Amino acid sequence: MKYFLSIFVLSLALNADILLPKTFTTDFEQTITNDKGKVIKYKGNVVFKNIKEVLSTPEGGDEIYTQSLFKWTYSSPTQKEVCTNGVELTVIDHDLEQVSHYLISEGIDLEQVLKLAQPLTKTDYKATYKDIEYLITMDKNQHLKKIVYVDGLDNKVKIIFKNMNYNSLVKEQDLECNAPADYDIVEG
């Protein structure tokens, strides 16, 4: 499970140089290599939606509330769905017929990573956040293409995004993880 948590807690936002849309859908290939050299490769798709609301404060001011929602659907080598809002994480493991719920305490805040990103080339960026170095690659259209980093568990993580579709129509139900009622529930 430690391997999965390294990417599920991503939270995206906008940066002056790295522009991400309000929504996107994409396929992904994820490679995780642990400190002993064991490699696990995953494939699936991702749905993302960034929600921003302006809320009035009791003092009469406005406060901007941002929530980044992700749904990662793994199709290979296992069947999993992972939904997160950056605070809570739900993992549905269809192979184990199990649903796990977690509160995220130390997640990767990609919003901050992107704000700190410095260009290396026209498409490559580097950022250091909480002592972790991230390499971010954009395609020729400045769409997110790849993220590489070593997580807090010393796993080398590489996520390649394919068929990126910025500003796609994403409905709330596209971001929900719904498990059959007979799955076991695990609270993390």
Angle, CA of 135, 144 and 28, to the nearest 5° = 95
Tell me the pairing of strands 98-103 and 118-119: unpaired
Tell me the pairing of strands 184-187 and 98-103: parallel
What percent of the chain has a predicted confidence (pLDDT) above 90?
A: 49
For residues 117-136, give the mean pLDDT.
91
- What is the per-residue pLDDT for 106? 60
Q: Tell me which residue of 127, 126, 124 sits closest to 140, measured CA to CA.
A: 124
- What is the per-residue pLDDT for 16? 41
In order of 12, 80, 168, the CA distances from 75 in angstroms are 23, 7, 21
Residue 3 CA to residue 33 CA, distance in Å, equals 9
Assess contact for 176 and 88: CB atoms under 8 A: no
Least confident of 56-60, 78-82, 123-127, 148-152: 56-60
- What is the per-residue pLDDT for 61? 75
Q: Tell me which residue of 66, 52, 59, 35 sits closest to 6, measured CA to CA.
A: 35
Check pLDDT > 90 for residue 63. Answer: no
Q: Quick: pLDDT tens for 11-59.
A: 333 334 576 688 899 999 999 999 999 999 999 999 998 887 667 777 8
Q: Considering Cα of 79, then 51, then 138, then 148, what sign does the dihedral take? A: negative
More confident residue, 79 or 129: 79
Check pLDDT > 70 for residue 8. Answer: no
Check pLDDT > 80 for residue 76. Answer: yes
Q: Considering Cα of 113, then 14, then 107, then 122, what sign does the dihedral take? A: negative
| pTM of the predicted model as reported, rounded to 2 decimal places | 0.80
For residues 129-141, give the mean pLDDT.
90
- CATH code for the structural domain at 2-176: 2.50.20.10
